[in-house]
């Protein structure tokens, strides 16, 4: 078995349980932008997991709006700053998944380098650090996010590994999204821990399926 030299974490739905918040934030954005012309439930169900910019781009297509990059980015950010951040605060959602802090502390003590690879925009990464004080574990300058250059989670995980000076095969990845899990495997990761969901894929690279970090089998990290 490959010795784990670094750990890469997805954020949304992995370190932080926010599926319901994203659901509410996107549907509110769809309704505001389309003024009821797009069925928010149907559209969100079809394109859930898509990065913000292409998600909004698809709405612009349906509404027959010109592809104005500035306007698309405005709505991509508005979903976060007007809705996602507000809902988080209103619900008092400021805790990581059970067992996450304990695992992060353990990795820090064991001097196993970590990074976060998220499809979120920079404005959300800043919000996450403020909300959960992630600077205790993660180097903000190394975090991989949707910078408009990364094409998908495969690129993000490869960049995350490079940022820590290790190969992707030496990394352990935690993720919950079916598409992202497949991209982690495509990138060459052989050790993936999945946050259990009904639509998780069945891949040989998946080492364990957990509902929270207290269930994580530490022996996977090696000695």
Mean pLDDT over 168-194 rounds to 96
Q: CA-to-CA distance for 30 and 44, rounded, in angstroms?
A: 8
Q: What is the pLDDT of residue 222?
A: 87
How large a percentage of the chain has pLDDT more than 70?
99
Q: CA-to-CA distance for 146 and 62, rounded, in angstroms?
A: 24
**Does the structure show a pLDDT above 90 at 216?**
yes
Domain presence at residue 1: no
Out of 69, 91, 113, pick the residue that ends a domain.
91
Domain presence at residue 38: yes
**Does the structure show a pLDDT above 60 at 1?**
no
* Least confident span in 21-30, 50-59, 133-142, 159-168: 50-59
What's the pLDDT tens digit per position in 88-138?
Answer: 999 999 999 999 999 999 999 999 999 999 999 999 999 999 999 999 999
Output the CA torsion sign for 170, 171, 172, 173: negative
Q: How far is CA 125 from CA 56, 81, 110, 119, 173, in A?
A: 19, 12, 25, 10, 19
Task: Write down the mean pLDDT value for the chain.
Answer: 94
The structure's pTM equals 0.92
Question: Total domain count for the chain?
Answer: 2
Domain presence at residue 113: yes
Mean pLDDT over 153-157 rounds to 95
Out of 91, 108, 137, pick the residue that ends a domain.
91
* pLDDT band at residue 151 using 50, 70 and 90 as cut-offs: confident
Residues 172 and 184 placed together within one structural domain of the fold: yes
Give the domain CATH number at 189: 3.40.50.1000
Furthest C-alpha separation in the chain: 57
Out of 45, 62, 91, pick the residue that ends a domain.
91
Q: How far is CA 140 from CA 7, 99, 135, 160, 197, in A?
A: 15, 22, 7, 12, 29
Domain presence at residue 118: yes
Q: What is the pLDDT of residue 2?
A: 62
């Amino acid at each position: 078995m490959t010795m784990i030299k670094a750990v890469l974490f997805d954020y949304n739905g992995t370190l932080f349980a926010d599926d319901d918040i994203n659901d509410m934030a996107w549907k509110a954005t769809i309704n505001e932008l389309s003024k009821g012309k797009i069925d928010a439930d149907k559209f969100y169900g079809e394109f859930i997991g898509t990065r913000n910019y292409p998600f909004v781009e698809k709405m612009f297509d349906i509404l027959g709006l010109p592809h104005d990059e500035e306007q698309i980015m405005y709505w991509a950010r508005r979903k976060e700053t007007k809705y996602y951040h507000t809902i988080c605060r209103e619900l008092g959602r400021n805790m990581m998944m059970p067992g996450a802090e304990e695992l992060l502390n353990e990795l820090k003590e064991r001097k196993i380098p970590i990074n976060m690879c998220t499809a979120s925009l920079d404005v959300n990464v800043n919000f996450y650090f403020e909300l959960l004080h992630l600077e205790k574990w993660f180097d903000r300058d190394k975090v991989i996010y949707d910078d408009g250059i990364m094409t998908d989670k495969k690129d993000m995980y490869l960049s995350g590994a490079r940022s820590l000076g290790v190969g992707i095969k030496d990394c352990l990845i935690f993720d919950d999204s079916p598409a992202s899990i497949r991209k982690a495997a495509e990138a060459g990761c052989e050790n993936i821990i999945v946050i259990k969901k009904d639509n998780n894929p069945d891949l040989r690279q998946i080492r364990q399926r957990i509902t929270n970090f207290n269930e994580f089998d530490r022996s996977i990290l090696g000695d």
